[in-house]
Amino acid sequence: MSKSTTDQYLENNTKYATGQANHRSNYPGKQRIQPAKRVAVVACMDARLDVEDLLGLQTGDAHIIRNAGGVVNDDVIRSLIISHHLLNTNEIVLIHHTRCGMLAFTDDLLKAGLEGDPAAEKLLGQATGRSFTSCKKSASTPSAFHAFRGQIEPLDAPRDEKNMERLTWDVRRGMGSILNHPWIPSTGPDAMTVRGFIYDVDTGKLEEVSYPGPMGLTD
């Protein structure tokens, strides 16, 4: 069985984690609009993730979609539909990572802090290690911050069994959102493949998340 492009990127990541350079930073010249490797990557905006380097992506290889947490929200789905149906991608790589800031709050807590709740401000300050300054105003947007399910922990907490479980839950939820969307085919001749990973910011290594599996409690 031939290797997928994602498999090749996992091999590149193994080299990256040992200190080898994968990404060439020079201007490559004129290229087609369609990603050369037919890959779309959804990843967190965290400054410690250099997606091109850790996967060995070259300019023109892939669409890279980033937001806080690497969350598969409506805008990510919008981008993936365009990426596939108009620009010919057929593999999706979803990347979360250890020590993620999305583990340090809940949606309700952050909204309350922004609106001026003193108790919420104090908790957010403790979690982030910085003075949390409230805007003391309400807002209708964003409708959600998509904090990860489970008990919150201090910002940048070291990897442990519990936070790895929370990260795994959210990777699976993202994979499920993609695989079950009616406009992103997962079977047939036009099917897209989806694989999810957790990147360890302390080792530089990617670890694959199985699917299906537990996705966490709703409370």
Q: Can you list the domains of the chain with their CATH numbers? A: 5-102+148-209 (3.40.1050.10), 106-141 (no CATH)
- With contact defined as beta carbons under 8 Å apart, do 199 and 184 qualify? no
Res 105 pLDDT > 70: yes
With cut-offs at 50, 70 and 90, classify the pLDDT of residue 1: low
Can you list the pairs that 160-167 forms with residues at least 24 positions away whose Cβ atoms lie under 8 Å? Answer: 163/98, 163/103, 164/98, 164/198, 165/216, 166/103, 166/216, 167/96, 167/97, 167/98, 167/100, 167/103, 167/198
Residue 218: what pLDDT? 53
Average pLDDT over residues 107-129: 93
Give the pLDDT confidence score for residue 84 in this predicted structure: 98
What average pLDDT is seen over the chain?
94
Q: What does the alpha-carbon distance between residue 44 and residue 48 come to, in Å, rounded to a whole number?
A: 10
Confidence of residue 128 (pLDDT cuts 50, 70, 90): confident
What is the mean predicted confidence (pLDDT) over 35-50?
Answer: 97
pLDDT band at 95 (very low <50, low <70, confident <90, very high): very high
pLDDT for residue 127? 85
Task: Provide the angle, in degrees to the nearest 10, between the axes of the packed helices 118-128 and 107-115.
Answer: 120
Note the pLDDT of residue 2: 65
What pLDDT, on a 0 to 100 scale, did the predictor assign at position 219? Answer: 42
pLDDT of residue 3: 81
Q: Is residue 106 scored above 50 in pLDDT?
A: yes
pLDDT of residue 191: 95
Mean pLDDT of the region 185-202 = 96
**40 vs 62: CA distance, rounded Å:** 5
- The C-alpha R_g of the chain, in whole angstroms, comes to 18
pLDDT of residue 185: 96
User: Both ends of the chain: CA-CA distance in Å?
Assistant: 42
> Mean pLDDT over residues 97-123, rounded?
95
Is 201:124 a contact under the CB 8 Å cutoff? no
